[in-house]
Structure 1
Amino acid sequence: MAMELDFVAFAAPVVAIALPSLEILLGIMIALNLGRRYARSFALGSMIFFTLLTIWIAAENPVIDCGCFGDVVKISHMDTLIKNLILLPFALIYFLDKNRGKRCSRLAWYMALPVSFALSLWSWFSLPLIEATPFRVGVHILAAMESGTGGEVETVLVYKNRQSGDLKEFSIDDTEWQNDTVWEFLDSRTIVVKEGKEPEIKSLPMIDSHGIDVSKEVLSSQERILLIVANELEKLPAIPSGYARVVVLTNGTIPEADTEGFELYQSDKSVINTIIQSYRGGALVLENGVIRNKMLLGNLR
Structure 2
Amino acid sequence: MKILAQVSRVIVGLLFIFSGLIKLNDPIGTQYKLEEYFEVFATDLPAFHDFFMGLVPLALYFSVFLCTAEVVLGIALLVAYKPRTISWLLLLIILFFTFLTFYSAYFNKVTDCGCFGAAIKLTPWTSFGKDLFLLALILVIVFYRKKFRALPTGIIVVISTLVSLGIAVYALRHLPILDLLPYRVGANIPAQLKPSEPLRYLYIFDKKGETVEYEQYPSDTTLVFKEMIVLNEDAKPKITDYKVWNDEGDFTEETFKGNKLFLIIKNLTDINTAALPDINKLINAVRGKGIQPIILTSGNSEEIVAFLNAHQLNAPFYYVDATVLKTIMRSNPGLWLLKDGTVKGKWHYNDTPGADEVLNLVK
Q: Work out whether the TM-score is over 0.5.
A: yes
Q: Which has the higher helix share?
A: 2
Residue identity matched to 1:226 = L
TM-fit CA distance, 1:22: 1.0
Contact 1:17-1:124 within 8 A present in 2 as well: no
Q: Matches of 1:193 and 1:290 in 2, distance apart?
A: 28
**Structure-2 residue corresponding to 1:256:** 307
TM-fit CA distance, 1:105: 3.7
Residue identity matched to 1:218 = T
Q: Which has the higher strand share?
A: 1
TM-fit CA distance, 1:73: 0.3
% identity of equivalent residues: 21
Query: Which of the residues 94, 98, 108 maps onto 2:156?
Result: 108
**Structure-2 residue corresponding to 1:266:** 319
Q: Matches of 2:205 and 2:61 in 1, distance apart?
A: 60
Residue identity matched to 2:103 = W
Uncovered stretches (5+) of structure 2, i.e. residues with no partner: 1-38, 43-51, 208-213, 354-363
Matches within 5 A, 1:51-130: 51-96=98-143, 97-130=145-178
Matches within 5 A, 1:192-203: 195=232, 197-203=235-241
Q: Matches of 2:315 and 2:297 in 1, distance apart?
A: 12
1:24 has 2:82 as partner = no
**Structure-1 residue corresponding to 2:276:** 237
Change (3 A) 1:99 1:248: same
Matches within 5 A, 1:276-287: 276=329, 278-287=330-339
Q: Which moved more, 1:261-270 or 1:20-29?
A: 261-270
**Structure-2 residue corresponding to 1:218:** 255
Q: Matches of 2:181 and 2:265 in 1, distance apart?
A: 16
Contact 1:153-1:192 within 8 A present in 2 as well: yes
Q: Matches of 2:238 and 2:109 in 1, distance apart?
A: 24
TM-fit CA distance, 1:72: 0.7
Change (3 A) 1:263 1:95: same
Change (3 A) 1:192 1:52: closer
Name the SS of the counterpart of 1:256 in structure 2: helix
Q: Matches of 1:109 and 1:213 in 2, distance apart?
A: 53
Number of aligned positions between the proteins: 279
Query: Which of the residues 178, 182, 185 maps onto 1:137?
Result: 185
TM-fit CA distance, 1:100: 4.1
Root mean square deviation, CA, Å: 3.3
Q: Matches of 1:193 and 1:51 in 2, distance apart?
A: 28
Contact 2:175-2:331 within 8 A present in 1 as well: no
Contact 1:32-1:104 within 8 A present in 2 as well: no
Query: Which of the residues 6, 10, 15 maps onto 2:57?
Result: 10
Q: Matches of 1:73 and 1:173 in 2, distance apart?
A: 36
Change (3 A) 1:193 1:273: closer
Q: C-alpha deviations, 1:146-178, integer Å up to 9, x for none?
A: 34544356999999xxxxxxxxx9x9999xx9x
**Structure-1 residue corresponding to 2:92:** 45
Residue identity matched to 2:249 = I
TM-fit CA distance, 1:95: 1.6
Residue identity matched to 1:204 = Y
Change (3 A) 1:203 1:186: closer
Q: Matches of 2:222 and 2:57 in 1, distance apart?
A: 61
Q: Matches of 1:117 and 1:154 in 2, distance apart?
A: 47
Q: C-alpha deviations, 1:59-111, integer Å up to 9, x for none?
A: 11112211111111000000011011111121112122212415034432432
Q: Which moved more, 1:255-264 or 1:37-46?
A: 255-264
Give TM-score, length-normalised by structure 2. Answer: 0.67
Contact 1:157-1:188 within 8 A present in 2 as well: yes
Residue identity matched to 1:33 = A
TM-fit CA distance, 1:29: 0.7
* Structure with the greater alpha carbon radius of gyration: 1
TM-fit CA distance, 1:46: 0.9
Residue identity matched to 1:237 = L
Residue identity matched to 1:91 = I
Q: Matches of 1:21 and 1:123 in 2, distance apart?
A: 13
Contact 1:149-1:199 within 8 A present in 2 as well: no
Name the SS of the counterpart of 1:248 in structure 2: strand
Q: Which moved more, 1:16-25 or 1:3-12?
A: 3-12
Contact 2:199-2:236 within 8 A present in 1 as well: no
Name the SS of the counterpart of 1:104 in structure 2: coil
Name the SS of the counterpart of 1:295 in structure 2: strand
Change (3 A) 1:103 1:156: closer
Name the SS of the counterpart of 1:284 in structure 2: strand
Uncovered stretches (5+) of structure 1, i.e. residues with no partner: 160-168, 178-184
Residue identity matched to 1:23 = E
